[in-house]
């Protein structure tokens, strides 16, 4: 089975840190979002692909584990890894890495489900997603 990963280098903006020079915890959500967009571009599973096939993919779970502070002027990257599942879900694991020393700053996981345009939960893999899994050999 293929391991699908992408990496997204990002800058920490001054507006994202508090008076202790530590990144506010809510910003991690945005870093993970940027990683999902980078993954989507690399592997053809972006939000507009999902939408153009008649579905939404809302987040239903999002978790973080903080290992060390992320501070202004660090040079981090977020590595996103697709977690294969037979269910009609998109699951990702994340690692935020300090590019200067390779240490792990934070880890996390997200789970997205599929909803149709009437906001009804979809229990089976949509056809386009099943084909995507076959293409990338992650079934």
Residues 89-135 have pLDDT tens digits of 999 999 999 999 999 999 999 999 999 999 999 999 999 999 999 99
Q: Which pLDDT tens digit goes with each residue over 17-50?
A: 999 999 999 999 999 999 999 999 999 999 999 9
Mean pLDDT in residue range 76-92: 97
Residue 78's closest CA among 97, 93, 51, 101?
97
The reported pLDDT for the residue numbered 1 is 73
93-to-21, 25, 77, 82, 116 alpha-carbon distances in Å: 26, 17, 14, 7, 25
CB 12 within 8 A of CB 23: yes
pTM of the model: 0.95
């Amino acid at each position: 089975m293929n391991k699908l990963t992408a990496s997204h280098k990002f800058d920490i903006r001054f507006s994202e840190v508090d008076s202790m020079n530590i990144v506010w915890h809510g910003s991690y959500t945005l870093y993970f979002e940027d990683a999902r967009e980078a993954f989507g571009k690399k592997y053809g599973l972006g939000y507009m692909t999902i939408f153009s096939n008649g579905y939404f993919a809302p987040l239903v779970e999002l978790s973080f584990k903080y290992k060390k502070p992320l501070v202004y002027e660090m040079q981090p990257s977020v590595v996103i890894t697709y977690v294969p599942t037979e269910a009609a879900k998109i699951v990702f694991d994340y690692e935020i890495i300090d590019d200067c020393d390779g240490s792990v700053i934070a880890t996390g996981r997200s789970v997205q489900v599929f909803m149709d345009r009437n906001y009804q939960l979809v229990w089976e893999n949509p056809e386009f997603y099943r084909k995507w899994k076959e293409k990338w050999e992650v079934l």
